[in-house]
Structure 1
Amino acid sequence: MKNKVKELRVANNLTQQQLADLVCVSSRTIISLEKWQYNPSIMLAYKIACIFNTTIEDLYCLEENLKNEEKNI
């Protein structure tokens, strides 16, 4: 699922490991999120959104992802 994790992490001068430490996951999880290869639990999505002072909907491009899903149906 498309998301803004990498964009926000870089804008906030955080390494993948630093973000991983803040949300108590491995750096591999952050890497997978940034490559859109992993959809997080709602709690993880919430933790990341809180760190970047945004909403889950904005962080995970909900509107855009819904439009793309509708095109594929």
Structure 2
Amino acid sequence: MDLKDTMAVNLRRVRHQKKLTQEELADRAGLSTRYVGAIERADVSASVTVLGKIADALEVKPSVLIS
């Protein structure tokens, strides 16, 4: 599994644990819902900046999403 796949799985897991929809997460992170969905499907690779925004929105360390 590559890093893009790892982030997709962890993002979905943490988002569900926090009981957030993709729309709610996207709003909190200042991203589009389509982009969050694409990251969760591992269709795109998130930049380090986007990783930070998503981690902040989920209130977790970025390493949680990529480890």
Q: TM-score, normalised by structure 2?
A: 0.77
1:12 has 2:18 as partner: yes
Question: Could you say which structure has the higher helix fraction?
Answer: 2
Greater shift in the superposed pair: 49-58 or 7-16: 49-58
CA–CA separation in structure 1 for the residues paired with 2:16 and 2:62: 18
Deviations 1:36-65 (A, max 9, x none): 11111211101111233332232122xxxx
Aligned length: 61
Larger CA Rg, structure 1 vs 2:
1
> Highest relative contact order (Cα 8 Å, sep 6+), 1 or 2?
2
1:25 has 2:31 as partner: yes
Return 5+ residue gaps in structure 1 as ranges: 62-73
Runs of 4 or more, structure 1, over 6 Å off, are none
CA RMSD of aligned residues (A): 1.3
Q: TM-score, normalised by structure 1?
A: 0.72
CA–CA separation in structure 1 for the residues paired with 2:41 and 2:29: 18
Percent identity of equivalent pairs: 25
